[in-house]
């Protein structure tokens, strides 16, 4: 991904540019169609890709801004953000972004940044899975460096409490509505057992499961995620309905306390956030 992304930085017409939805209207008019085509094709064999691409953009923007630095591989002098705690063995969709970039380069050589492709991919993935549409402003530059230590500091953990989440989002100029929207994206897709095993067997070092978990659901999760860690690669659905759909009503799922991650549960238990869950 490094070579493909960095090529854009030499493009002469990206200097002092302003972000605009029409940034590529003359230089790459079919950009959106190309991105959508590759994503829709990928979803035929991998419906999780919508959630994966949304998460990939989110994890990019929370580190050095939306500069595609998450795509940069490690070098002898630079650690990759892909190996940060919140990303290692969990970020997906890199191959699809690479496919999109390859197709875009065929149509519009050295024109479109990987940062813009990530932003478009997140919006198109959300819309294709039934979520809202928004106009994506374009014209971003790709970064030349990654920062793994900042990724470890900035990316919210699956174990975060609501105060920690609110503080993290606030540092990026985001409010409670933004927090709920991104947390609500966990109602489609899947996660690793390693991210919830503590809730199933040793919640907050009590030696017992999280008492807020539905007992039937707890039994189901323990079957998938045994405490002996014999299957470290096992994954679980992030909601009880297994819908790969971003329109799932978050409050409908959370009222059964069958949420896998503490970050989602934290939102559902607060009076300020609860009304937003039904939107």
Q: Which pair of tokens denotes residue 279?
A: 């939107």
**Could you tell me if 160 and 262 are in contact, meaning their C-beta atoms sit under 8 angstroms apart?**
yes
User: Using CA atoms, how far apart are residues 152 and 147, in angstroms rounded to an integer?
Assistant: 9
User: Is 59 tagged catalytic?
Assistant: yes
| Residues contacting 148, CB < 8 A, separation 6+ | 79, 80, 81, 83, 84
Tokens coding 253 = 């799922």
Identify the active-site residue in 59, 172, 186, 192: 59
Q: Measure Cα distances from 216 to 148, 257, 258 in Å.
A: 39, 11, 9
Task: Please calculate the CA angle 250-156-213 and round it to the nearest 5 degrees.
Answer: 45
Alpha-carbon span 179 to 250, nearest angstrom: 13
């969709």: which residue's tokens?
93
Beta bridge partners of 138: 20
CA dihedral (5, 6, 10, 15) positive or negative = positive
Half-sphere exposure (Cβ direction) of 38: Cα atoms closer than 13 Å: 23
CA dist., res. 68 & res. 142, Å (int): 6
Residue numbers annotated as active site = 59
């Amino acid at each position: 991904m490094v070579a493909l992304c960095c090529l854009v930085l030499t493009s002469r017409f990206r200097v002092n540019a302003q972000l605009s939805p029409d940034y590529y209207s003359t230089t790459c008019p079919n950009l959106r169609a190309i991105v959508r085509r590759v994503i829709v094709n990928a979803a035929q064999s991998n419906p999780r890709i919508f959630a994966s691409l949304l998460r990939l953009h989110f994890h990019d923007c929370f580190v050095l801004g939306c500069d595609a630095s998450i795509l940069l591989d490690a070098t002898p002098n630079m650690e990759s953000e892909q190996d940060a705690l919140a990303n290692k063995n969990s970020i997906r969709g890199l191959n699809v972004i690479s496919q999109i970039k390859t197709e875009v380069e065929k149509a519009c050589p050295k024109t479109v940044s990987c940062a813009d492709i990530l932003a478009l991919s997140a919006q198109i993935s959300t819309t294709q899975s039934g979520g809202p549409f928004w106009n994506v402003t374009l014209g971003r530059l790709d970064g030349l460096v990654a920062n793994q230590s900042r990724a470890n500091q900035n990316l919210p953990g699956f174990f975060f409490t609501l105060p920690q989440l609110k503080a993290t989002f606030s540092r990026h100029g985001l409010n409670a509505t933004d927090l709920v929207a991104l947390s609500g994206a966990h109602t489609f897709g899947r996660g690793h057992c390693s991210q919830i095993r503590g809730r199933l067997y040793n919640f907050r070092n009590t030696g017992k499961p999280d008492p807020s978990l539905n007992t039937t659901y707890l039994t189901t999760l323990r079957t998938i995620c045994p405490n002996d860690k014999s299957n470290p690669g096992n994954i679980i659905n992030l909601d009880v309905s297994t819908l790969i759909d971003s329109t799932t009503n978050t409050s409908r799922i959370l009222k059964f306390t069958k949420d896998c991650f503490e970050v989602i549960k934290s939102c559902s238990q607060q009076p300020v956030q609860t009304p937003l869950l039904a939107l």
